[in-house]
Amino acid sequence: MNGRGTGTRPQRVPLPMWVRPMLASGDGFPQDAAAWAYELKWDGVRASAYIQDGRLLRLLSRTGRDITVTYPELRGLGPAAHAGQLVLDGEIAAFEQGRPSFEALQDRIHVSSAAQADRLAARHPVAFMAFDLLHLDGLPTLEIPYQVRRELLDGLALSGRWWQTPPAFTGLTGAELLEVASQQSLEGVVAKRLDSPYQPGARSPDWRKVKRQLHQEAVVGGVNPGKGARAGLVGSLLMGVQTPAGLAYAGRVGTGFSDSSLRHIGQRLAPLRRSASPFATEVPAEHARGAIWIEPEVVIEVEFAGWTREGRMRAASYRGLRTDKDPADVFREP
C-alpha cells in the first residue's frame, strides 16, 4: 500500500465518519468469469462497522443511520478485529435453522431502546457478515483493487460467534455459485470485478447481483383498509418504484403478513396520511377505491412472480420493511 509510483509512504488520515456504501447493479453475470470473484448474498440489511483501538465506535445503516444500539451482540467485533482502525462493509443477517432469514430479522431492525435490544439479542441474535475493507490503520483502501482489499480483509481473520468473513470465490462461474445458492436456499450471488476500486454511493456494473428468486423493494404510497378478520388493520399496500417522471404505480401486496407485521406497519404508516395520491401514474380504479394515501417515505420488500405489461408485480408477497433503504433509491430491478 505504498504511494503509487513514488516509493513514498501514503499519508495517514483519520477514521472517516461515514463512507456511503457502493451498490450492485442488476446487469447479470459477466461473460469474462475469470476477471471476477463471486460472493453469496445473505438476505439481510447492509451495515458498515467503524472500529478504533479495539472498540466498535458506530454501526451505520446503508443510509448512514446509527444502528449501534440495535445490535448489542456486535459490540465484540471491535476487540475481535485486532487493528487500530477499521471500516468494514458488510451485511447483518439473522438465521433460522442455519440459513439466513430476512423475516427473522424483522423483530430486530426497528429497535432503538438499548434494554429491548439486549433482550432481543439474547433471543434472536444476528451476525455481521464482512465482505469489504474500506479503511485500515489510518489508510483508506477505496482506490486499491477489490482483490487486494479482500486479501487484507481475509488477513484480519474475523471469525466469531456473531461475525464472519464469508469467502469470495474465484475459478468458477456465477451460474455455478448460483446453483449452490439454490441448493442452500440462499438469496443469490454478487459478482465483483477483481480490479475494481470501491466507489462510494455508486451503483456500479463492477458489482452485479443476481437473485435466485424475484425480490423487489417498493415504496408504499397507499393502503387499502382491511375487512373482516383484518378490520382496523392493513388489507393491502399500494406500491411504487421510482422513475424519471416520479413514483410509478407497481401494484399492491396483501399477503405474507404476520399478525405482528400488520400491526407494526399500520402504526408506521398512520402518521403519514395525505390527501392525494403520491403516484405519478394512474392507479386502477379498483385499487384506488377507498384507498388511504400515504407520504412515500416507507420502503418494503416483496417477493413476486413477475412483471405485467403494465409494469405491476404479479402475485406479490410481503417480506418486510427496509429501514436501511432510501425511498429515492428504489427503482425497478432489471
pLDDT tens digits, 237-275: 999 999 999 999 999 999 999 988 999 999 999 999 999
Residue 2, pLDDT score: 43
Whole-number pLDDT of residue 26: 82
Number of compact structural domains in the chain: 2
Residue 192 inside a domain? The answer is yes
Distance of CA 22 to the CA centre of its chain: 11
Does residue 85 have a pLDDT over 50?
Answer: yes
pLDDT at 6: 44
Highest mean pLDDT among 100-114, 171-185, 286-300: 286-300
Containing domain of residue 268, as a range? 215-329
Q: Per the domain annotation, does 1 fall within a domain?
A: no
Supply the pLDDT for residue 208: 95
CATH number at residue 132: 3.30.470.30
Q: What is the dihedral of CA 203, 208, 209, 212, to 10 degrees?
A: 150
Structural domain contains residue 6 = no
Q: Given CA atoms 275, 281, 282, 284 in this order, what sign does their dihedral have?
A: negative
Helices 114-123 and 102-109, axial angle in degrees (round to 10): 160
Residue 297 burial (10 A CB sphere; 0-12, 13-18, 19+) = middle
Task: Kindly indicate the confidence band of residue 5, based on its pLDDT and cuts at 50, 70 and 90.
Answer: very low
Mark 4-13 as b/e (b = at least 16 C-beta within 10 Å): eeeeeeeeee
> What is the Cα–Cα distance from 216 to 222, expressed in whole angstroms?
17
pLDDT digits (tens, 9 = 90+) for 186-225: 889 999 999 999 999 999 999 999 988 788 999 999 999 9
pLDDT at 232 over 50: yes
More confident site: 77 or 187: 77
| The pLDDT of residue 10 | 66
pLDDT for the residue 8? 55
Q: Give yes or no: residues 124 and 144 share one domain.
A: yes
Residue 82 clears pLDDT 90, i.e. is over it: no
Q: Angle at Cα 209 formed by Cα 197 and Cα 56, nearest 5°?
A: 60
Which residue in 41, 192, 209, 211 is the catalytic one?
41
**Contact (Cβ atoms closer than 8 angstroms) between residue 50 and residue 13:** no
Asked if the structure places residue 294 within a domain, the reply is yes
DSSP single-letter state for residue 270: G
Do 276 and 200 belong together in one domain?
A: no
Q: Which residue has the cell 444476528?
A: 126
User: Contacts for 145-152 with beta carbons within 8 Å, 24 or more apart?
Assistant: 145/194, 145/195, 145/196, 145/197, 146/37, 146/192, 146/193, 146/194, 146/195, 146/196, 146/197, 146/198, 146/206, 147/37, 147/194, 147/195, 149/198, 150/37
Task: Tell me the pTM.
Answer: 0.75
pLDDT at 122: 93
Q: Report percent pLDDT > 70 for the chain.
A: 97
41 belongs to the catalytic site: yes
pLDDT grade, residue 19 (50/70/90)?
very high
